[in-house]
Homo-oligomer: A and B are copies of this chain.
Amino acid sequence: MAVPGPDGRRARGDRRRRAILEATLRVVERDGVAGVSHRSVAREADVPPTSTTYYYATLDDLLIATLTWSADQMASSFRKVSLTPVAVARFIADAVGEHRGRTLAEYELYLLAARRPELRPAARRWISLMTEVIGPWDPVALRSLLAAVDGLLIQGLIADFPPMAEELEPVVSLLMLGG
């Protein structure tokens, strides 16, 4: 091949880049943002510490890249949720149950966006996605639904026992159908 050409080095580099990102996300899930360091991520990804600094010069770069990538992932998984109260309730229950660690990670990075303007667009991605997906709703109703979903998620994270879809469903119903 000629013009851009497949580059073996670059390909492997990209693979390692992604491995580092995935490792970072695992660290955040396990130990929180506080547990993220060049070295802890390097250990998790089983690469030398210099490798993490090579691809992400500063810790900020690493966290920003992780949030952006992670938000993209979550957004695309969101597209598959059908817009019925039952499905949305199920989604929330799974997020704070089965996928608790991942949701927690998401919210820690989310909150990080409050302090770093540059990652706010990524943090807001799922909001704008849902806005787009949900289509022609009353803006006020939409906003209250999005806010409530956020609240249900975060409250589900600090509950001793994560709520089940069945108890979430009436709340989501009220918000989506207006009583």
Contacts and interface: CB of A to CB of B under 8 A. Distances in A.
Interface residues of A, number: 39
B155 A150 contact: yes
B154 A111 contact: yes
B146 A151 contact: yes
Contacts of A120: 158-160
Contacts of A117: 160
Interface stretch (A17-25, A47-55, A169-177): A169-177
Interface of A: 32-34, 104, 107-108, 110-111, 113-115, 117, 120, 123-124, 127, 140-141, 143-144, 146-152, 154-155, 157-160, 170-171, 174-175, 178-179
